[in-house]
Amino acid sequence: MTDTTKALADFTTALAAATTEEAAFDALCALTKATVGAKLFTVMTSDTDAMVARRAYTDDAANYPTSGEKPIELNRWFDQV
């Protein structure tokens, strides 16, 4: 089993120091990459009243920008996610 003590301590420190939403997501991204591993880390929001989803955070803005929105499709993928 991987020891996540340092990653959790680093996350706690970074989160406590975060003064913006982006800094908090940066901390969560670093924790995820250190413990689970990820090639891409994004945070999505969904507005079911307007039936749109938006990317609120990405660690790869060149390929996955946070601008724009896309329609929510109520399907098996939506149920899974």
Contact yes or no for 59/46 (Cβ under 8 A): no
Q: What is the pLDDT of residue 52?
A: 96
Q: What is the pLDDT of residue 1?
A: 56
Q: What is the pLDDT of residue 33?
A: 96
- What distances in angstroms separate CA 28 from CA 41, 64, 73, 76, one per listed residue? 9, 18, 27, 27
Using alpha carbons, select from 77, 78, 58 the residue that is nearest to residue 68: 58
The owner of tokens 């390929």 is: 63
For the chain (length 81 residues), average pLDDT per consecutive 10?
88 97 97 95 94 96 93 92 82
Listed in order, strand segments (DSSP E) in 1-81 are: 42-47, 52-58, 70-71
